[in-house]
Amino acid sequence: MHPQVAVRPEPFGALLYHFGTRKLSFLKNRTILSVVRSLADHPDVRAALRAEGVDDSEQGPYLHALGVLIDSRMLVPQEDHQ
């Protein structure tokens, strides 16, 4: 996650606010929130999804959502902010 992003868990998932770009994003369920929070603990995105119980056949919508977060700079590679 970008160091300028704040996460506020909500009953529906979470709100993400990027203080640098002033963008707001919604995570629509708690599974995607858990995946986002655990990305650094896994070798790749698919491993993080599997660890949260998302079968390979169900990963499409999650991969799309993560792609949107990358495009909006909510998620960045770890080496970009170490």
- The mean predicted confidence, pLDDT, of the chain is 94
Q: Partners of 25 in the beta sheet? A: 16
- pTM beyond cutoff 0.85: yes
User: Where along the chain do its domains lie?
Assistant: 5-72
- Give the whole-angstrom CA distance, residue 7 versus residue 25: 10
Residue 51 identity: A
> Model confidence at 77, in pLDDT bands (50, 70, 90)?
confident
